Amino acid sequence: MAADPYIAPNYTTSALVVIDVQNDFLDAGSAAIAGTTAVLDTLVQLVSAYRRAGRPIVHAIRIYDGADVDLVRRKAISDDGAPVVRRDSAGAELPSSLLPDGAAALATDDLLSGHMQQVGPHEFIMWKPRWSAFHRTPLDQFLTDNGVDTVVFAGCNFPNCPRASMFDASERDYRVVAVTDATSQVTPDRLADARSIGVVDMATDTVISMLPQHLFSYGTLQDPAVQLGTFGRYLGGRADELAGHRIDMLTITDPHVLALSGIAQHPIVVPSDDPDDAVSGTVFQISAAELRAADEYEVDDYERIEVTLASGTTAWVYQYTSRT
């Protein structure tokens, strides 16, 4: 079905929407949803990949406060006081492993007022009052403003809020992806139901392999001739900076690399003890296949690590290897 050009995902213009992954719905929570804790590690990998790609991430969550509750739950929540994702409770918070380092606690009043809480350069938390992440929320406008045409869904739990959100996304002509191993309560019949409206189901590894990657170059990968020989195309990028590092020089002996670059002395970054040291360069958006090609170009003295650049962008960079 994904071969249909009208529903095939465009990962370079996609956003990730994570549904209802909150402490109360994990195994130790007050309203545990079977299978949610089991997919958490995979979900963390997916979220991390979207951060690295610089694509939008929206955590759509529940917060119960007062009588603004689905009818089917209103007696338990509003009348009987069930302790489920209550405002300002630990159970309403997201698992820390799912959020960027240093993310603040939920800004409950702002969220309940319909505002999105920013927790990273491209990452937000949003309250949804009902099943669908689109119902009475700013999600559709947010996606439109960010040029998104493909919405990738994961989280808790498939037959309820993710399913309702997928149907609403389809009604708005978004291309829709369900990440099967990062969503709880997925079954073959539920997937068949989603496929019938054009939802494309994929595993996390497949989605990650399709996402754009950011590569920070301070050396020969900025050379158009090297780009053409390595990637088969010229790369467009933007200036950025890597703090806490400095440049050394490395003598290259690999014939292929020498032929492409035309020089034997290549720069190589190393960590610096001087907090004022920084390396200027260019950040490029490339595919996963192109990242593997860059790995092939760089000699064994380089290792690829993940860094945060001055702009806040998460990117790969090649530095002097720590291997012995």
Q: Return the domain boundaries, the chain.
A: 11-210, 213-320
CA distances from 51 to 256, 289, 323 (A): 33, 19, 27
CATH, range 213-320: 3.10.490.10
Neighbours of 101 (CB within 10 A): 7
Q: What is the mean pLDDT of residues 279-305?
A: 94
Q: What is the mean pLDDT of residues 78-91?
A: 95
Report the distance separating Cα 93 and Cα 83, nearest Å: 13
Please tell me the predicted confidence (pLDDT) of residue 41. 98
- Banded pLDDT at 312 (limits 50, 70, 90): confident
Write the pLDDT tens digit of every residue in 273-291: 998 999 999 999 998 889 9
Average pLDDT, the chain: 95
Please tell me the predicted confidence (pLDDT) of residue 87. 95
Q: Are 141 and 58 in contact (CB under 8 A)?
A: no
Write the pLDDT tens digit of every residue in 25-60: 999 999 999 999 999 999 999 999 999 888 999 999
Report the distance separating Cα 95 and Cα 99, nearest Å: 7
Helix pair angle (224-231, 288-297), 10° resolution: 110
Element housing 239 (H / E): strand 237-243
Structural domain 11-210, CATH architecture: 3-Layer(aba) Sandwich (3.40)
pLDDT at 93 exceeding the cut of 90: yes
Report the distance separating Cα 30 and Cα 24, nearest Å: 5
pLDDT at 1 exceeding the cut of 50: no
pLDDT at 2 exceeding the cut of 90: no
- Banded pLDDT at 322 (limits 50, 70, 90): low
CA 100 to centroid of chain Cα atoms? 11
CA distances from 81 to 66, 67, 77, 130, 161 (A): 10, 11, 5, 18, 22
